[in-house]
Chains A and B, each alone.
Chain A
Amino acid sequence: MKEEQILLSDNASSLAVQAFLQMCSLPVQVVCRPNAEYMSPSGKVPFIHVGNQVVSELGPIVQFVKAKGHSLSDGLDEVQKAEMKAYMELVNNMLLTAELYLQWCDDATVEEITHPRYGSPYPWPLNRILAYQKQWEVRRKMKAIGWAGKSLEQVLEDVDQCCQALSQRLGTQPYFFNKLPTELDALVFGHLFTILTTQLTSDELSEKVKNYSNLVAFCRRIEQQYFEGRDKDSSSTSRFSKGPLLR
């Protein structure tokens, strides 16, 4: 997705994958394309292109990288692995869905931010058509999982509950499974950092996350450790933010 086109939820997913690959010490080059959604085998961004293989979404990417011999979660026992997967689902279920809701179902955000950004690489009327099509798709999904009836306050409350759970699980540890980061840390970082640093019509979403100081410290820690050293790649994280560092 191009720089001005990318939306909150896709940015979050993309950052999560970048963080994961950095944690595995695998070099990654970030490329933006307006038709990225169509290039991806599952219709979702981000995807990685390695040699002649294309793998999309964090789950399959983790599996792919594992098959190549790099894994962050080998040191975990069975119960911990179960917990890790459960928390990853929680983030997907609540944070990602809330991001999608905010982007596509909240009318103010849709008008001011989503439609203009999503359609920006295309000429009129294609930009409006594609944006409406995507919006219709997302609203269908929301309806199927029962989120269509939710009000913005309820969605924000869900985000708060999710952040509370993450904050309690993290506690005072540096990473979710103590000393070493795993794909869960990458996923949580991707979403929380994006929420904290993306400018939306209102600050309510990022305020919810800011309530939990250990989560903010967690994001800062990962940013410093994995993103600031790298000149070329760190520009991708600061491109979309209000500023490179968190307040």
Chain B
Amino acid sequence: MAAPMELSCWGGGWGLPSVHTESLIVMAYARFSGAPLRMSAVDHSWSAPQGDVPVLISEDAVIAQPAKILNYLRKQKYNADYELSAKQGADTLAYIALLEEKLLPAILHTFWVEAENYCSVTKPWYASRIPFPLRLYLPGKMSRKALNRILLMRGEPPLYRLNDVEAQIYRDAKECLNLLSNRLGTSQFFFGNTPTTLDAFVFGFLAPLYKVHFPKVQLQEHLKQLHNLCRFCDDILSGYFRLSVTDG
């Protein structure tokens, strides 16, 4: 496509181009595959066409949700998975499912449900990007949505308290991080020397967890002990986003 496409997403901070996982996934994929995207940070969620961020706006289509955006980019011949074998493609799907089931609940919890983190970091950051009076309402809504998702994903009967679920989700997340670290080993990216869709997803999930400064940091500390995953994030940031690693 000759005309540049525009990507609406949440802005950056702490040395990251964006602090929002899904936005980051799309941005990373675009850099890996060489797609020309113009980034525009949203000020308020409802100005984006479907109200969901990130959103890709091109000449002939408006697409929301990372998976669909990535599909669209692939159809436009911006394919980062070109050199993968069929089995590696299958592995990609499997690992993405693993991330969504095991890691996502704990990340949602760290950002949106953990009271100290939410009040001192997440809410002020998002509120500063949203105009008054929406800023009084929208972060709370996102937080409730995250909590809902955690409780329903875990399938716990409504009688269970959040505390029981918390212990379980953090255990699962730490296990997931260990698995990712084992899988990455010493290679630069998950499938050799060029980054692919899986790298974009892992980066999108891990980078905010790695870089954002939280008061309550148990999962972050666990991540920091897995040096190859930290190195992986830093490599992508310095290699593809040209931001200094020491920022933030």
Interface residues of A (CB under 8 A from B): 42-44, 78-79, 81-83, 85-87, 89-90, 92-94, 140-141, 144-146, 161-162, 164-166, 168-169, 171
Chain B residue contacts of A140, Cβ below 8 A: 152
Known A-B contacts A144-B149, A162-B93; A83 and B100 likewise in contact (beta carbons under 8 Å): no
Main secondary structure of the interface of B (DSSP, over half): helix
A92 to B93, CA, bound (A): 12
Number of interface residues of B (CB under 8 A): 27
B89 touches A85 (CB 8 A): no
Number of residue pairs across A and B with beta carbons under 8 Å?
75
Residue from A78, A90, A165 in contact with B182 in the complex, judged by beta carbons closer than 8 Å: A78
Residue B153 CB within 8 A of the other chain? yes
Interface residues of B (CB under 8 A from A): 65, 86-87, 89-91, 93-95, 97-98, 100-102, 145, 148-149, 152-153, 155-157, 179-180, 182-183, 185
A83 to B191, CA, bound (A): 13
Chain B residue contacts of A78, Cβ below 8 A: 182
Chain A residue contacts of B155, Cβ below 8 A: 42-44, 141
Chain A residue contacts of B97, Cβ below 8 A: 86, 89-90, 92-94
B182 touches A141 (CB 8 A): no
A44 to B149, CA, bound (A): 18
B179 touches A85 (CB 8 A): yes
A129 to B183, CA, bound (A): 47
By beta carbon, the residue of chain A nearest B183 is A82
Known A-B contacts A43-B155, A86-B97, A144-B153; A164 and B182 likewise in contact (beta carbons under 8 Å): no
Chain A residue contacts of B93, Cβ below 8 A: 90, 161-162, 165
